[in-house]
């Protein structure tokens, strides 16, 4: 149903949580919107993340890891264009270095 509102939970992990000053939020989205739409909606709510999430062309940095319901979005058939459903959960994870 077009126009239906979806509640999408967003978790901000590690440094993203610190930059945002919060660890989670709920996005009100329209039916048919994608992970990419949610990505930019988070930035509307939390502009402090823009320099960390966007490259110089205003596109998502490849090192921002996005998970949809525990699955790495980059492994999904539609990637960032994957349509969201009511109750979906997105996790935004910064790059992690270690050894």
pTM, to two decimals: 0.91
Of 48, 43, 99, the C-alpha closest to 66 is 43
In the chain, the domains with their CATH numbers are: 5-93 (3.10.20.30)
pLDDT at residue 49 is higher than 80: yes
Q: What is the pLDDT of residue 99?
A: 57
Please give the C-alpha separations between residue 73 and each of 39, 50, 52, 85, 94, in angstroms, as whole numbers.
12, 20, 18, 14, 14
Residue 1 or 29, more confident? 29
Q: What is the pLDDT of residue 2?
A: 53
24-44 pLDDT per residue, tens: 999 999 999 999 999 999 999
Nearest-angstrom CA–CA distance, 77 and 24: 26
């Amino acid at each position: 149903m077009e126009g239906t509102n979806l509640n999408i939970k967003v978790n901000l992990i590690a440094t993203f949580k610190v930059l945002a000053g919060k660890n989670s939020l709920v996005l009100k989205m329209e039916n048919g919107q994608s992970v990419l739409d949610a990505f930019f909606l988070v930035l509307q709510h939390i502009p402090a993340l823009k320099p960390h999430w966007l490259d110089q062309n205003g596109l998502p940095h490849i090192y921002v890891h996005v998970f949809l319901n525990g699955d790495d979005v980059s492994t999904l058939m539609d990637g960032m264009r994957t349509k969201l459903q009511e109750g979906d959960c997105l996790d935004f994870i910064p790059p992690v270095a270690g050894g």
